[in-house]
Amino acid sequence: MFFWSLVLIAVGIFSSFIYGRSRIKLNSKKQGTKSKSLPNYYAQYVLMWCLFPALIVYFSWAIFQEQIIQNIVISNFEFIEGAVYNEGLLLAEIRNVANNPSFADGKSIEIINAASHYSSLRQISQISFYTSIIIIMLLGALYASQKLKPEFHAQHTIEKYIQYILIFCSSVAIFTTIGIVFSLIFESLRFFAEVSIFEFLFSTEWYPFIPIREGQTAAEGSFGAVPIFAGTFLVMVVAMCVAAPLGLLTAIYLAEYASPRVRKTVKPLLEILAGIPTIVYGFFAFVSVAPFVKAFGQSIGIDASPTSALAAGMVMGVMIIPFISSLSDDVINSVPQSLREASLGIGANKAETIKKVILPAALPGIVGAFLLAISRAIGETMIVVVAAGTAPNLTGNPFENVTTVTVQIVVALIGDQEFDNPRTLSAFALGLVLFVITLFLNIIALQIVKRYRERYE
């Protein structure tokens, strides 16, 4: 369906284009006047009237077809009294049987009936899909062809349409943000309907294990996210302890001391560091740094866990180094040369100039860079998923195993995803916290950097 309908639409727009072009030429010849716009614009006009309605039909079909069919199948399903059904599993079973008749062996007659119902509905849907696409394209072309008169200024209309398309493109970013905010808030509200928000924010017990089957009277889960926040904070602090000095000193060296040749070679190398996927850092942390940390801990008499905040944080710090160094480099370079000259002119040496003049002048920019780096560290996922551990642990000891917000989101969503389960929903509440904090950090950082820029421009 995916491929052939695209071919169908492609054929439709191609022929509509040809049709529009020849039709307007004919019409203007008949009237003996020159058309107001070039023939191609009339052709594009017909094309747009063909394409966009067809696309709307296409996407609405793609989005709703499956759900509508499933609803019909389920509502017609002959439930046996007393038996307990899981709708998701049932549907999966029906689909399996429908797609692959060999699975039908040993399935109940209800399922087999439903499967054939399902396939017939799919067939009907396919046929009506193709017909409606063809009809809608014809209707569009018909409507557009009425306008194909020489006195119609097709170019104006086309340019107006193009404007609409462009506006739509730029609003995708807005829609994305709205989508993020709404999905996070919506699912979080469902979560907070079951778990109190105070428990979530202030309680220190995180046992997200909820009885899966009804009637199971296992312990109620508890959702106090404090240990998770603490773990995130700890890893972030370790990362910044590595990245802040290394990144800043590297930036200072590159901006103030290094020869152009060194700069030219080192900067791309640091960019490589920045371009390495985070899962690679995760691997590195897991196979190299974590065992090293464990061995180091043992050598100084601390019992380090195999996955520790220290290992994850250190590697995350390495990941952030290029981020900090390139941002700080920009900031240091934008300190006016005159300040440098003023300081050097009264006999200060380079180190003094940097420490006493440049860094204070660049401080807001550097703070902004650090804030952006912190927001990065908090949102980073793969390193901590691989190297930090999954069990919540309220501790300040970096040799211990901690867990972070991002890890808990991943853990909650791997495997079975039933959206009526607070454990699954907790991922969205954690995601909301993550989103709000990083957004907050970003806005502040961007403000600081912007104000800093304005000062020296």
Residues 292-311 contacting another protein, CB under 8 A: none
Among 32, 82, 215, 275, binds another protein (CB under 8 A): 275
Among 123, 288, 298, 333, binds another protein (CB under 8 A): 288
Tell me the CA distances in angstroms from 157 to 45, 70, 154, 164, one per residue in order: 8, 42, 5, 11
By the 10 Å C-beta count (0-12 exposed, 13-18 middle, 19+ buried), 382 is classed as: buried
Smallest distance, another protein to C-beta of residue 192, A: 16
Question: Using the rule CB under 8 A, is 84 a contact of another protein?
Answer: no
Phi, psi of 193 (to 5 degrees): -70, -25
Question: Using the rule CB under 8 A, is 246 a contact of another protein?
Answer: yes
Question: Using the rule CB under 8 A, is 10 a contact of another protein?
Answer: no
Among 150, 208, 227, 282, binds another protein (CB under 8 A): 282
Place of tokens 């739509």: 168
Among 8, 52, 66, 107, binds another protein (CB under 8 A): 66
Considering only residues 146 to 165 of the shown chain, the ones binding another protein according to CB under 8 A are 155, 159, 162-163, 165
Our CA angle for 245, 249, 255, nearest 5°, is 150
Among 8, 241, 359, 410, binds another protein (CB under 8 A): 410
Contact 403, 298 (CB under 8 A): no
d(CA 137, CA 130) in angstroms, rounded, equals 11
Question: Using the rule CB under 8 A, is 249 a contact of another protein?
Answer: yes
C-beta closer to another protein: residue 200 or 281: 281
Smallest distance, another protein to C-beta of residue 355, A: 7
Binding part of the chain for another protein, among 35-43, 45-53, 84-92, 133-141 by CB under 8 A, reads 35-43
d(CA 433, CA 375) in angstroms, rounded, equals 12
Smallest distance, another protein to C-beta of residue 82, A: 31
Among 350, 359, 391, 397, binds another protein (CB under 8 A): 350
C-beta closer to another protein: residue 112 or 348: 348
Alpha helix segments (H runs only) across 253-393: 260-275, 278-284, 290-299, 309-333, 337-345, 350-352, 359-379, 382-387
Binding part of the chain for another protein, among 9-17, 126-134, 183-191, 221-229 by CB under 8 A, reads 183-191
C-beta closer to another protein: residue 104 or 258: 258
Smallest distance, another protein to C-beta of residue 43, A: 13
d(CA 49, CA 433) in angstroms, rounded, equals 44
d(CA 252, CA 245) in angstroms, rounded, equals 10
Question: Using the rule CB under 8 A, is 9 a contact of another protein?
Answer: no
Tell me the CA distances in angstroms from 125 to 19, 53, 210, 366, 401, one per residue in order: 30, 18, 40, 59, 53
d(CA 42, CA 152) in angstroms, rounded, equals 9
Among 8, 104, 394, 439, binds another protein (CB under 8 A): 439
C-beta closer to another protein: residue 80 or 167: 167
C-beta closer to another protein: residue 269 or 300: 269
Smallest distance, another protein to C-beta of residue 34, A: 8
From the CB of residue 88, how many other CB atoms can be counted at a distance below 10 Å?
11
By the 10 Å C-beta count (0-12 exposed, 13-18 middle, 19+ buried), 449 is classed as: buried
Q: Which two tokens stand for residue 358?
A: 């440049």
Smallest distance, another protein to C-beta of residue 227, A: 19
Say whether 89 sits in a helix, a strand or coil: helix
Computed over its alpha carbons, how large is the radius of gyration of the chain?
31
Among 8, 438, 444, 453, binds another protein (CB under 8 A): 438
Considering only residues 163 to 182 of the shown chain, the ones binding another protein according to CB under 8 A are 163, 165-174, 176-177, 179-180, 182
Considering only residues 357 to 376 of the shown chain, the ones binding another protein according to CB under 8 A are 372, 375-376
Question: Using the rule CB under 8 A, is 237 a contact of another protein?
Answer: no
Residues forming a β-bridge with 143: none
Considering only residues 121 to 140 of the shown chain, the ones binding another protein according to CB under 8 A are none
Helix (H) / strand (E) containing 223: strand 222-223
C-beta closer to another protein: residue 173 or 300: 173
